[in-house]
Amino acid sequence: MNNFVFYNPVKVVFGRGSVNQLGSYAAPLGTKCLLVIGQGSVRKNQTLDRCIGMLESAGIKHSLLENIMPNPRIEKAYEGIRLAKKHNCDFVIALGGGSVIDTAKAIAAGFYYDGDTWDFFTMKSEVKKALPLMTVLTVAATGSEMNSISVMQNDSTKQKIRAQGHPMFPTVSILDPELTKTLPKDYTAYASVDIISHVLEGYLTSEDENTPLQDGFTESIVKSVIEETRKLMSDLSDIEARSTIMWASSLALSGFTTAGIGRFKFENHLIEHSLSAYHDIPHGAGLSIVIPAWMKENRTLLKNKFEKFARNVFGKQSAEDAIISLENFFREINSPTSLSFYKISNLRELTDNIMECAPTRNLNLERGYVERILEKAK
Amino acid sequence: MNNFVFYNPVKVVFGRGSVNQLGSYAAPLGTKCLLVIGQGSVRKNQTLDRCIGMLESAGIKHSLLENIMPNPRIEKAYEGIRLAKKHNCDFVIALGGGSVIDTAKAIAAGFYYDGDTWDFFTMKSEVKKALPLMTVLTVAATGSEMNSISVMQNDSTKQKIRAQGHPMFPTVSILDPELTKTLPKDYTAYASVDIISHVLEGYLTSEDENTPLQDGFTESIVKSVIEETRKLMSDLSDIEARSTIMWASSLALSGFTTAGIGRFKFENHLIEHSLSAYHDIPHGAGLSIVIPAWMKENRTLLKNKFEKFARNVFGKQSAEDAIISLENFFREINSPTSLSFYKISNLRELTDNIMECAPTRNLNLERGYVERILEKAK
């Protein structure tokens, strides 16, 4: 096992109806918050009104920042910082999925920073201080509610990259599976792909082969997500399945499956982020396109790990079985498995972008390697 | 899945040589610490001198509280509180195993309390504030380094019971597997029994059957600990095995395997604590006596969970297989499996004590049930 530091101080308040505790958990953080939401689903299903009502009952005023899009843009963070400063906000509440939370993190961090908040993403600066952040999760996918990572997109530089820093850990994350019941079928599938990808990147590429504990945790997450997603595909309101997937999504990128596994490569995310940046496709849908192609390209190099994955997750044997089984699962839940699904053909441009973003993930890739993966994903 | 709140803010600094970072992690906590140690093994193997040297280099003075015994007595906590007050300590460092850490927690909590520190254990009072606590773990077993629980013994009342409170979470826990290499073979075995027991209590008795994720985590911990303990039984200095077991022990009682599983019963611990309180036997050794007997008594009631355990951990089928396989493993590593090993025969007195301590664990047991378990453990 490798050396590591594990630290995750997020207080998770999980369960059906837990959103009703919003007021009591928010009150200690201040009397004025910036409330960040997405493109209106929380308005439509009344979650926004419920939350505002609870905040008001707890004596908390709010300013609203809305219209955060999937693949969130840094410009919205700038807007949020201006708003939070103008209204002297004490803290930020993210009510939404990963894009909303990531934007809220960038706002919380940018609030105290004199320079350009994008500096945290290009690694020109470190996050030293941030406003307290609370999250109320409505889409279980990115795991942002239980880590200190923010992924933002900059349209002017065509970059979708990440920042990380302890001050961006949410103080409290409310995980109420009831709030995820209205997520449509396609996005429910994409979310599961995302969760699986988060644990697989570490599991499949870590150099350390002596991590039985962590491997077991990952296998348990992947098996559970596959099984529970199948249930959701036939009944989107299966609250037990929503619950397991919600907790799996938070744990998947919380650091506990990777603690001790040493260095690993987040290559599928790197590649997918370029797809999203250019084509604005759902992140999970992009991942189900990239992962099988990436596996095919790495079938020889990572043979042992693929075999272990085939054995312990799918009850099969070979590296090939692992690739086929996972790709079949993506097909089964109607998550796309080829670039043609979105008519994506600008492979050269994508390769340029991937090569350019690679250093922000400490990845040193050969151009030919990236080209071959995109070719296999066609 | 059941509702839960998960919160674990301990910063874990893990790995070979991580003890060398003691000074840099201790410095932010103050300039004067109470250093708590056990019965001298850290003196013998020079770990104490190394640690004192590092503290001094970091400008930190210390007062030493030594001779904490296994099954730690509350009197030593009183002594530590007096010492910490006398020397105006800013924080506490526990250098040792679970007994040392539990004592340090009681000291940290008692420091700010005007009443009797034992009140926290009898639930007469809650821990509101505590001195910051740092741990340097030398025995991987109890998991105390990554939770807010302290278990102490009171000889005058013949009680071994627990207190719990957020202020008792260690701020930093240094987990250096090199420090566990000198643990003798018998105690290495007992430690593994303890780790397994911590996850099994929840896994086997939780009322919620819809927890595939958590069950998988537990199965991974049990399987890994069994496998790595076997390696240690033939080579006590196997550092990879020591590493996996060390991290397993911290996670086992950190709350993450039990988050969402609902109510469960810590009956084996309740029963064992009475054995320890009367006969001063190692906690893990007591557990390997109690668990098989407890399983035999519960073979019908918990049939489904036993079968799952047999299947997923031992690759077998029946509830009976689960009991036999686990008992055989305890025998294989020479951890005792019957009361006769320690010539324990005061079953009536033990039953009285168990019945008396049960309410402190919110357990409501029938006397006949306890008697039958002890009878089966003879």
At residue A88, what are phi and psi to the nearest 5 degrees? 50, 50
Q: Which CATH architecture has domain A184-376?
A: Up-down Bundle (1.20)
Low-confidence ranges of chain A (pLDDT < 70): none
| Minimal Cβ distance to B224: which of A212, A220, A240 | A212
CB atoms within 10 A of CB B137: 32
At residue B322, what are phi and psi to the nearest 5 degrees? -60, -45
Got the DSSP string for A179-217? GGTTS-HHHHHHHHHHHHHHHHHHHHH-S----HHHHHH
CB atoms within 10 A of CB B124: 10
Query: How far is the alpha carbon of A179 from chain B, nearest alpha carbon, in Å?
Result: 14
- Please work out, in degrees rounded to the nearest 5, the angle formed at the alpha carbon of residue B147 by the alpha carbons of B144 and B149: 70
Residues of A engaging B, defined by a Cβ cutoff of 8 Å: 1-18, 177, 210-213, 215-217, 219-221, 223-224, 227-228, 240, 243-244, 247-248, 251, 256, 259-260
Q: How confident is the model at residue B362 (pLDDT cuts 50, 70, 90)?
A: confident
- Identify which of A10, A55, A39, A13 has the alpha carbon closest to the alpha carbon of residue A177: A13
Beta bridge partners of residue A35, listed in sequence order: A64, A93
In the numeric block, the tokens 């349209």 are attached to: A155
- Please work out, in degrees rounded to the nearest 5, the angle formed at the alpha carbon of residue A354 by the alpha carbons of A283 and A137: 25
Q: Provide CATH 1.20.1090.10 ranges for chain A.
A: 184-376
Q: What is the dihedral of CA B91, B95, B96, B99, to 10 degrees?
A: -20
At residue A255, what are phi and psi to the nearest 5 degrees? 100, -15
Q: Which two tokens stand for residue B377?
A: 């453990």
pLDDT of res. A330: 98
Rounded CA-CA distance A169/A8 in Å is: 8
pLDDT of res. B167: 98
Model confidence, pTM: 0.96
Q: Which two tokens stand for residue A349?
A: 């441009």
In whole angstroms, how far apart are CA A197 and each of A316, B42, B230?
A: 20, 44, 33
| Contact of B347 with B289, CB cutoff 8 Å | no
- Identify which of B47, B43, B23 has the alpha carbon closest to the alpha carbon of residue B33: B23
| Minimal Cβ distance to A6: which of B12, B212, B260 | B12
Chain A residue with Cα closest to B7? A11
User: Using one digit for the tens of pLDDT, what is the confidence trace for B273-318?
Assistant: 999 989 999 999 999 999 999 999 999 999 999 999 999 999 999 9
Contact B213 A248 (CB under 8 A): yes
Contact B210 A2 (CB under 8 A): no
| Minimal Cβ distance to B216: which of A15, A224, A260 | A224
The CATH code of the domain at A11-179 is: 3.40.50.1970
The whole-chain average pLDDT of chain A stands at 96
User: Using one digit for the tens of pLDDT, what is the confidence trace for B136-179?
Assistant: 999 999 999 999 999 999 999 988 899 999 999 999 999 999 99
Name the strand (E) or helix (H) holding A135: strand A133-137
Question: Residue B362: which residues within 8 A CB-CB, separation 6 or more?
Answer: none
In whole angstroms, how far apart are CA B312 and each of B228, B250, B315, B318?
A: 17, 22, 6, 11
Q: Which CATH architecture has domain B185-376?
A: Up-down Bundle (1.20)
Contact B256 A251 (CB under 8 A): yes
Q: Provide CATH 3.40.50.1970 ranges for chain A.
A: 11-179
pLDDT of res. A360: 82
Interface predicted TM-score (ipTM) of this complex, two decimals: 0.95
pLDDT at B361 over 90: no
Residues of chain B in contact with residue A230, where contact means CB-CB under 8 angstroms, are none
Rounded CA-CA distance B378/B368 in Å is: 15
- Please work out, in degrees rounded to the nearest 5, the angle formed at the alpha carbon of residue A58 by the alpha carbons of A55 and A59: 90
Rounded CA-CA distance B232/B245 in Å is: 10
- Identify which of A316, A204, A207 has the alpha carbon closest to the alpha carbon of residue A268: A204
| Contact of A216 with B216, CB cutoff 8 Å | yes
Query: How far is the alpha carbon of B31 from chain A, nearest alpha carbon, in Å?
Result: 24
User: Using one digit for the tens of pLDDT, what is the confidence trace for A226-265?
Assistant: 999 999 999 999 999 999 999 999 999 999 999 999 999 9
